[in-house]
Amino acid sequence: MSKSNEILIGIDLGGTNILAAAVTPKGQVLGRSKVKTKAELGAQGVVDRIVKAAKNALKEADVAIDHVKAAGIGAPGVIDFKTGDVSSVVNLRWDYLPLGKILKEQLGVPVHVDNDVNVGTWGEYQAGAAKGHDNLFGIFVGTGIGGGLIINGQLLHGHVGSAGEIGHTCVNVNGAFGRRTLENIASRTAVVNLITSLILANHPSCILDIVEGDLSKIRSKIIAQAIAKKDPLTTQVVRESANYVGIAIANTVTLLSLPCVVLGGGLLEALGSPYLSWVQESFEKNVFPDDLKKCKILPSKLGDDAGAVGAALLANNVFQK
């Protein structure tokens, strides 16, 4: 059992799952616990499950709570990272919750709350793909599309705490209504919806066989199978979505003159290198000046752990000051 009080708890609060981890200050995961979020239980129910997952992770790591320095949590919605209050957590139907204060009482350690994508980016910066890069953009393509920015070694929160919201930037002004922002065009949700509607309109695709006719079963893994089989419809939809992701990354790198980008999220995890190379190709076509073509788009290294590890290390950073 750890003797020092250097261990951190990191928590990734998602709409479906809660992942908690016991993490060293160097980002090593000593133990983890994944539980269902069960948003239908309401705020107190979800908080109970967060605490349970955190305690499970400590138990798995064989670390007592009095050896924990601090806990960090990445949450969706609008976060006041100074107070730890969260609001507009649409996924969980929370209007407002003083999450940091509640968790601090229940865990008995200092708690830092930040945006889920910010902590994921921080994790990749401190212990993942972007280690050693003090300026970077993290972009995560999944149900939605979120981003986080590290400028001069600091997480950029911005005026209302919303910095990094690349998913809500417009990349196709003349697109149809609902097809103008990056998230609406290129998230996994958008990709699945487009594939579904094309198949329903009788465009041929091997996906229909893979899901045995049940289009509600289309997930990232199904898309990966179809691409491995060189299904023309799926390949074209995903390639075009990757083109938009590459453009949004190029716009960000052009605007901020960045040396490094980390790309993560469910779509990349499932599709791997073809997806990454399509994004990279579009990025290089669109970035300015040419010198920035050498900016690396690195695949996320921490995968599912990025949020929990990042939350833990961010809390370590916040509470060492």
Cβ proximity to a copy of itself: between 244 and 278 the closer is 244
CA triple 39-40-45, angle to 5 deg: 70
Residue that is written with structure tokens 């350690």 in the block? 109
CA atoms within 13 A on the CB side of 314: 33
Residue 23: phi and psi, rounded to 5, are -130, 140
Sites for a copy of itself among residues 210-249 (CB under 8 A): 243-244, 247
Q: Name the token pair of 219.
A: 């997930």
How far does the chain reach from its first CA to its final CA, in angstroms? 27
Q: Does 85 bind a copy of itself (CB under 8 A)?
A: no
Exposed/middle/buried for 106, CB within 10 Å: 0-12, 13-18, 19+?
middle
When asked if residue 174 is in the footprint of a copy of itself (CB under 8 A), the reply is: yes
Q: Is 189 in the site for a copy of itself (CB under 8 A)?
A: no
**Distances, alpha carbon 157 to alpha carbons 118, 163, 211, 309, 312, in Å:** 9, 5, 41, 19, 18
Q: Is position 65 an interface residue for a copy of itself (rule: CB under 8 A)?
A: no
Nearest approach, Cβ of residue 134 and a copy of itself (Å) = 10
In angstroms, what is the minimal distance from the CB of 232 to a copy of itself?
21
Of 4, 46, 13, 263, the residue nearest 142 (C-alpha): 263
Residue with Cβ nearer a copy of itself (34 or 293): 293
Instruction: Write each residue from 139 to 158 as x if it is in contact with a copy of itself (CB under 8 A), else as -, in one continuous string.
Output: --------x-x-x----xxx
Q: Are strands 260-264 and 136-141 parallel, antiparallel or unpaired?
A: parallel
Q: Candidates 35-43, 93-101, 253-261, 299-307 — which segment interacts with a copy of itself by CB under 8 A?
A: 253-261
Distance in angstroms (rounded) separating the CA atoms of residues 269 and 70: 29
At 66 the three-state DSSP class reads: helix
Q: How many CB atoms lie within 10 A of CB 210?
A: 18
Give dist(CA 166, CA 300) in Å, integer.
Answer: 17
Residue 303 near residue 266, CB atoms below 8 Å: no
The answer to whether 130 contacts a copy of itself (rule: CB under 8 A) is no
When binding is defined by CB under 8 A, the residue of 61, 99, 250, 262 that contacts a copy of itself is: 250
CB of 98 to a copy of itself, least distance (A): 19
Determine which residue in the list 3, 132, 160, 230 makes contact with a copy of itself, applying CB under 8 A: 160
Closer Cβ to a copy of itself, 124 or 305, answer by number: 124
Query: Which of 15, 31, 110, 175 lies at the binding interface for a copy of itself (CB under 8 A)?
Result: 175
Residue closer to a copy of itself (CB basis): 8 or 250: 250
Q: Identify residues 256-285 at the interface with a copy of itself (CB under 8 A).
A: 256-259
Among 170, 204, 221, 273, contact with a copy of itself (rule: CB under 8 A):
170
Footprint on this chain of a copy of itself (rule: CB under 8 A): 78, 135, 147, 149, 151, 156-166, 168-175, 181, 243-244, 247, 250-252, 254-259, 286, 288-289, 291-292, 295
